[in-house]
Structure 1
Amino acid sequence: DYMVPWIPSLGITAGVLVDPLSLFMANIVAWISLLIMIYSIGYMKGEFGMTRYWFFMNLFIGNMLLLVLADNLLMMFFGWEGVGLCSYALIGHFYRDEPKYWVGSPGDKALGVSEEYSPTKAGMKAFVMTRIGDIALLIAIFLIYAFARTFNYDLLLAQIGGPGGWAANLARLGLLLPTALLFFGGPIGKSAQFPLQEWLPDAMTGPASVSALIHAATMVKAGVFLTGRMGPVFFIALSQFNQVSQFFGVIAWIGAFTALLAASQAAVAREIKKVLAYSTVSQIGYMMLALGMAGLSANFLAGYTAGLFHLLSHAVFKASLFLAAGWVLHVAESRFMDEMGGLAKAMKFTSASMLLAGLSLMGIPLFSGFWTKDAILSLSFLGGQYILYGLALITAFVTGFYTVRMLGITLAGKPSKHVEDLMEGGKHPHEAGLTMLIPYLLLAVGSLGLGLAYPFYSGPLTTYIAGTFSSTLYKFPAGISSASALTDLLLLSVSTVVAAVGGAIAYLIYFRKDYVFKTGMNPIQRFLYKRWYLDAIYYRVFVTGLLAASRGLYRYVEQGIWNRLNNTIGRDIMDYSRASDQLDTQVVDRAANEVASYGSRLSNLLRKLQSGVTEQYVIAFAIGIILLLTYMLFVVGAT
């Protein structure tokens, strides 16, 4: 941990934490981002706003590395908010809002709410929804600081134990579990978990390279990383007060439910990037399930590493899928899968890349996704969380279905009428240039390579990641499963067969028949296509509802009460002013004027005595003397 003083008066430092977890995540961010940036050279050629694009892409990666390598919560939060700001700018990169960059089918509505989103609207939606979780996270961070007097990860671990520790002080006030749950609100928003998952499917308005960066290397993985970073801290803190199962149970249940929720939506989605977006939400749910199971099972490290290994696996195959899908979108000049079809013949390398990455997503043997997904499912079953295991198993089935469905509609069969029209106009499907092809082809092969090498590196990598906890003397549960080899093999087989069955059903439906999008759907399809109506409900409650509440407040409170009260008070003050004016004019002013008038008349009378004639003054003087003498002789003399 390399630290320098930052705010000395508060004892706050800035530093870089180089431990197994941060290095593991930083390498994923750096290498995946490198390939995406190389891809961008060809993909973004000729687009407007390239200076802005490169600036925010590099700032995005820089903020993610700051988030990952920060040694304290405050520095981490700067990177956290920086990632959110960059995502807003990049999702809305095509700010001119040309229809070809929108998401959603024209005219789509749910509960009267439009399901179409322009780039600017989608960027704002992502910014606002993730801020909800960020507020909860910020409250939790300052609650921790208020009791621990530090943001530093290592110091938080060192000061966690004992009756005078910050965890005990929080628990004494009944705030420890609420603080942990508030903290998890940040990852819920940033990693698009229920109930804040609705921003991510609409974030597909940005370039494909942006989508790949958000989904594979940066933003949505930030929530998983932060849960992994603070998970051990909260495990130790909550274990002192028997509250571990409540907190980690929330993480696991939210993850499992989100995984199934998003997978079901991907199964009926019409747009290729939306399928991949729903898939990301679902796979992040798997990661959260694993991190939740870390606290619910007898082996903390098994759940911890299962979540992180799946993060690595997902980063590789999802980046490949998004980059390849970006080229498919470019060739087809459409975001709708039903306007593609038959592209495999002219785009063999792209199709092979999507197939390899898709098989890894499904969890087919030999691919990386097979091992990491199975580790999560097995841990759920062996940990006694059978409902969670059931949800995860159903999700595996649906994942196999929507993956093969996507491949079948876009690559197999005959070209759609839209593609045929393009070909007649001289726009034939073809492979991407090397700067675009090599990155997603390398990633697809990498997903296979990671799967083949998994038995060799999983053990050493698990031991390496366990070094993250070396700064604490606490011994995490490391119980060994009592399951037999037969049970392990059975669990492995069940998850594989379930995914394969889902894929086989999709193969029969979408590889052997030409796909035509139908607006007429049965109730279940409509329910899933409308996103379980969650997006519409959120819009009705938090957008339309708040606007209606604002109008109501304006009409009944602002106008009905305050304006009326102000007008009444104003009229009363005006009446008082008029009465005061009458009093001032008729009484005060008149009295003053009368006194002045009498004074004027008296002065005029006295002025007549001052004639200026000397004879008159002499006569007046003589009369005065006579009167004085008379007074003295008769009055004083008599006395």
Structure 2
Amino acid sequence: MILPLELAGWLVFLIPALGAVLTPIFARINGNFRDLMAVLIGFVTAFIAVDMLLTMVLSPVVFAVEPFRWVAVAGIIEFGVLIDPLSVLLAVIAGGIGSLIILFSVGYMTGHDEQGNLVKDPSLTRYYFFMQLFVSGMILLVVADNLLMTFIGWEIVGMCSYALIGFWHNLKTPSPVPEYETEGEYNAVCGMKAFMVTRVGDIGLLAGVLLTFFIAGTFNYQELTHLAETNSWPIDVSLVASLLPLVAILLFAGPIGKSAQFPLHIWLPEAMAGPTTVSALIHAAAMVKAGVYLVARLVPIFLEVMVHIDGMIIFFQTVAWIGAFTAFMAATMALVQDEIKKVLAYSTVSQLGYMFMAFGASGLVAESAAAYAAGAFHLMAHAIFKALLFLAAGAVLHATQTKRMSEMGGIKNDMKITRWAFTFGALSLAGVFPFVGFWSKELIFEALWHGGDYLLFGMAFLTAILTAFYTFRMVYQTFHGEKSTHIKELEAHGHHIHEAPPTMTIPLTILAGLALVGGLFELGFFNTFGAVSLEILEWTHIVPWGFGLTTILTIIVWTIGIGPAYWIYWKNGRDFSSLKEGSIYKFLINRWYINALWNRIFVDGYLWLSNGLKNRVETALIAFSGALSGGMDSLSKGWRRTMTGVLNTNVLGMMIGIIAFLLILIYM
């Protein structure tokens, strides 16, 4: 409305990038000025993103913007921005929620010394640099008009996540469950694990990007859409039919890693080693949303391809079932976690599975548009309530000086704003009416049920029950019941639990309000974003929400899940410590032993291979090298003895050589 979209599309990611570059300069001026500028730049970015959103919403026609071209390489590779509902939605999420997280950071990254004076983290300059670059990379990823530019943003996001997960790289946090923390105790190892595991998926993604160019001769999304619609590929169509399903799976490998889906989900729990604000940004506004975005961007293209190539259905089946399995698996793991951030981490893995389930189902069910729009709406809803939950958890950690729920409890009256904000987020996560999570999950149920995929619906239904249970277990153990021994000891030493400062409660209040009223955006979301986003497929009919069977089933879900949690924890406060000796608990706390399997195969396997190479190959090569050098040394010493320097000896040697040469000439 204020800025031309061609300009806004570039400024929305260049401004936070500029802020990151200028952060060290701001820090030289003054620490408070550095903090202020980080917040200001964050909100300027959010303003530009919201301005783009309003332009999109108020446009009376289908909105299409010819990408603003930046540079062309040999007329083949062009870099530009693509402004459509999907890119604007993700830009608002990254910019808007990112700005609230940076504001929250001002209070969260400040502590007290032994005298009670406020002390800022000594590495805040590095923190704000990477946080702003993180936001910039994520927005670049979503507004890019081609796969190559998206990949550049993809790698920027990966680098920033590595740096921020290991932000407190010199800290060591031993685990009470050694077999659970098998990667090492230093936070730096957690960042490295995230970096290495996601690289596995990135290799597949890069291969898919390059093969896409081989098949289509372009990286551009709009040109790929045109080729898919017309089936007019620059190479032989039969070769396209055999390669495209493989290319689609390779491209999906990137989202499997970035969005922590099975079997590359193992990095996300360790990502909790960083500051809670980093966790909020990774889970709500960046990183894990990158994979979901890429699938959402590719689904309409591959749906057009599937009209001509039946084999493309394997892509949608893979996306849907990996999402369904991951959602269920992660929900079971969340049931037994003691660390509040790890409960939230597994819930993120699970909710991302819901999104992939919906996007995958868009190629499997009759109501394709409904499934696609439901996945996009859940992406937005999850960004709101997961940012709220992580930031509220950060406020609790800041006050209680512990990350374990068993060391919390009984603080509901000490942190009322945080408690209510956390509860609003929990109600959304559990899918309780009228919070935003209810609407988004119900839409996924609606699409799966009416689409006729009852097996996927059953997986989603069962996962939702588990989600409601572990969510309210988390709420009770954090805020309700009796105060833990840890809390009592803190109070005995003069540390009284108190509410977070305004820089932390203001973002919580805003996000809590969005979690409460976010469901009201549903109709406008579908009318504006649903139809416009899917215009390339000529889909304009979206199933409207109504009180039907799936609504009743959604209510049953959170009743079945919340009811037992209320009875077990609120009503009776039972002690389940004896269950920790059971095989089910051990299976779940050890993450279905998938993490251990990865370590056995790749870590222990690599060590076995390297030791074998050292003991057998390297040792033999070193021995051979030593023997060779020793032999040459002996030969040189022997030859040196013949070099006496006596003239008669030299003449004799020359005569022998001449005679030998003549004999060879005579008899050869």
TM bin (shorter chain) = 0.7 to 0.9
The match for 1:542 among 593, 602, 618 is 602
Aligned pair in 2 of structure 1 residues 244, 302: CA closer, same or farther (>3 Å)? Answer: farther
Aligned to 1:248: 316
The match for 1:392 among 460, 465, 471 is 460
Q: Displacement of 1:48 after TM fit?
A: 2.1
Asked if structure 2 preserves the Cα contact closer than 8 Å seen for 1:162 and 1:168, the reply is: no
- 2:179 matched to 1:109? yes
CA distance in 1 between partners of 2:125 and 2:380 (Å): 30
Aligned pair in 2 of structure 1 residues 578, 190: CA closer, same or farther (>3 Å)? Answer: same
Aligned to 2:349: 281
CA distance in 2 between partners of 1:156 and 1:3 (Å): 18
Q: Displacement of 1:241 after TM fit?
A: 1.4
Q: Displacement of 1:118 after TM fit?
A: 2.8
The match for 1:2 among 60, 67, 73 is 67
Aligned pair in 2 of structure 1 residues 124, 10: CA closer, same or farther (>3 Å)? Answer: farther
Q: Displacement of 1:107 after TM fit?
A: 4.2
User: Helix, strand or coil for the counterpart of 2:566?
Assistant: helix
The match for 2:472 among 404, 428, 437 is 404
The match for 1:237 among 305, 308, 312 is 305
Query: Cα deviations across residues 564-622 of structure 1 (Å, max 9, x unaligned)?
Result: 4444544555566567667888999946247799xxxxxxxxxxxxxxxxxxxxxxxxx
Aligned to 2:567: 508
Aligned to 2:327: 259
User: Helix, strand or coil for the counterpart of 1:159?
Assistant: helix
Aligned to 2:622: 563
Q: Displacement of 1:436 after TM fit?
A: 0.4
Aligned to 1:606: none
The match for 1:363 among 412, 425, 431 is 431
Aligned to 2:524: 457
Aligned to 1:439: 507
Task: Select between 160-169 and 581-590 the one with higher mean Cα deviation.
Answer: 581-590
Q: Displacement of 1:261 after TM fit?
A: 0.8
Q: TM-score, normalised by structure 2?
A: 0.82
Aligned to 1:610: none
Aligned pair in 2 of structure 1 residues 494, 41: CA closer, same or farther (>3 Å)? Answer: same
- 2:431 matched to 1:336? no
CA distance in 1 between partners of 2:429 and 2:563 (Å): 15
Trace 1:470-485 onto structure 2 (pairs within 5 A). Answer: 470=535, 472=536, 474-475=537-538
CA distance in 2 between partners of 1:589 and 1:230 (Å): 88
Q: Displacement of 1:168 after TM fit?
A: 5.6
CA distance in 1 between partners of 2:480 and 2:235 (Å): 57
Aligned to 2:26: none
- 2:548 matched to 1:489? yes
Trace 1:8-27 onto structure 2 (pairs within 5 A). Answer: 8-27=73-92
What is the letter of the counterpart of residue 169 of structure 2? Y
Aligned pair in 2 of structure 1 residues 512, 80: CA closer, same or farther (>3 Å)? Answer: same
Trace 1:215-226 onto structure 2 (pairs within 5 A). Answer: 215-226=283-294
Aligned to 1:526: 586
Aligned pair in 2 of structure 1 residues 352, 284: CA closer, same or farther (>3 Å)? Answer: same
- 2:259 matched to 1:194? no
Asked if structure 2 preserves the Cα contact closer than 8 Å seen for 1:299 and 1:478, the reply is: no
Superposed CA RMSD: 2.7
What is the letter of the counterpart of residue 97 of structure 1? L
Asked if structure 2 preserves the Cα contact closer than 8 Å seen for 1:324 and 1:350, the reply is: yes
What is the letter of the counterpart of residue 93 of structure 1? F
Query: Cα deviations across residues 515-566 of structure 1 (Å, max 9, x unaligned)?
Result: 7683843111111111111111111211121111111122122223x33444
CA distance in 1 between partners of 2:598 and 2:654 (Å): 77
Asked if structure 1 preserves the Cα contact closer than 8 Å seen for 2:231 and 2:305, the reply is: no
User: Helix, strand or coil for the counterpart of 1:243?
Assistant: helix
Asked if structure 2 preserves the Cα contact closer than 8 Å seen for 1:235 and 1:295, the reply is: yes
CA distance in 2 between partners of 1:500 and 1:115 (Å): 38
The match for 2:170 among 96, 110, 113 is 96
CA distance in 2 between partners of 1:161 and 1:7 (Å): 25
Q: Displacement of 1:365 after TM fit?
A: 1.6
Asked if structure 2 preserves the Cα contact closer than 8 Å seen for 1:92 and 1:123, the reply is: yes
Aligned pair in 2 of structure 1 residues 223, 170: CA closer, same or farther (>3 Å)? Answer: farther
Aligned pair in 2 of structure 1 residues 476, 582: CA closer, same or farther (>3 Å)? Answer: farther
What is the letter of the counterpart of residue 550 of structure 1? S
User: Helix, strand or coil for the counterpart of 1:160?
Assistant: helix
Aligned pair in 2 of structure 1 residues 172, 98: CA closer, same or farther (>3 Å)? Answer: closer
Task: Select between 288-297 and 421-430 the one with higher mean Cα deviation.
Answer: 421-430
Task: Select between 567-576 and 336-345 the one with higher mean Cα deviation.
Answer: 567-576
What is the letter of the counterpart of residue 280 of structure 2? A
Aligned pair in 2 of structure 1 residues 434, 96: CA closer, same or farther (>3 Å)? Answer: same
Aligned to 1:632: none
Asked if structure 1 preserves the Cα contact closer than 8 Å seen for 2:366 and 2:452, the reply is: no
Asked if structure 1 preserves the Cα contact closer than 8 Å seen for 2:370 and 2:543, the reply is: no
Identical-residue share of aligned pairs (%): 42
Asked if structure 1 preserves the Cα contact closer than 8 Å seen for 2:333 and 2:589, the reply is: yes
What is the letter of the counterpart of residue 497 of structure 1? I
CA distance in 1 between partners of 2:655 and 2:315 (Å): 88
User: Helix, strand or coil for the counterpart of 1:342?
Assistant: coil
- Number of residue equivalences: 581
CA distance in 2 between partners of 1:152 and 1:567 (Å): 57
CA distance in 2 between partners of 1:581 and 1:307 (Å): 82
Q: Displacement of 1:240 after TM fit?
A: 1.2
Aligned to 1:77: 151
CA distance in 2 between partners of 1:71 and 1:65 (Å): 12
Aligned to 2:358: 290
The match for 2:95 among 18, 24, 30 is 30
Asked if structure 2 preserves the Cα contact closer than 8 Å seen for 1:208 and 1:326, the reply is: yes
Q: Displacement of 1:380 after TM fit?
A: 2.0
CA distance in 1 between partners of 2:466 and 2:648 (Å): 92
Asked if structure 2 preserves the Cα contact closer than 8 Å seen for 1:64 and 1:83, the reply is: yes
User: Helix, strand or coil for the counterpart of 1:97?
Assistant: coil
The match for 2:557 among 484, 491, 498 is 498
User: Helix, strand or coil for the counterpart of 2:79?
Assistant: strand
Query: Cα deviations across residues 131-167 of structure 1 (Å, max 9, x unaligned)?
Result: 1111110111011112322211111112335564058
Aligned pair in 2 of structure 1 residues 187, 63: CA closer, same or farther (>3 Å)? Answer: same
Greater RCO between the two (CA within 8 Å, min separation 6)?
1
Trace 1:376-387 onto structure 2 (pairs within 5 A). Answer: 376-387=444-455
The match for 2:141 among 50, 67, 84 is 67
Query: Cα deviations across residues 300-329 of structure 1 (Å, max 9, x unaligned)?
Result: 211111111001111111111100000111
- 2:127 matched to 1:53? yes
Asked if structure 1 preserves the Cα contact closer than 8 Å seen for 2:283 and 2:386, the reply is: yes
- 2:417 matched to 1:349? yes
Aligned pair in 2 of structure 1 residues 588, 254: CA closer, same or farther (>3 Å)? Answer: farther
Task: Select between 15-24 and 307-316 the one with higher mean Cα deviation.
Answer: 15-24
Unpaired runs of at least 5, structure 1 = 598-639
Aligned to 2:54: none
Asked if structure 2 preserves the Cα contact closer than 8 Å seen for 1:107 and 1:114, the reply is: no
Unpaired runs of at least 5, structure 2 = 1-65, 111-119, 657-668
Query: Cα deviations across residues 72-97 of structure 1 (Å, max 9, x unaligned)?
Result: 11111111100111111111111221
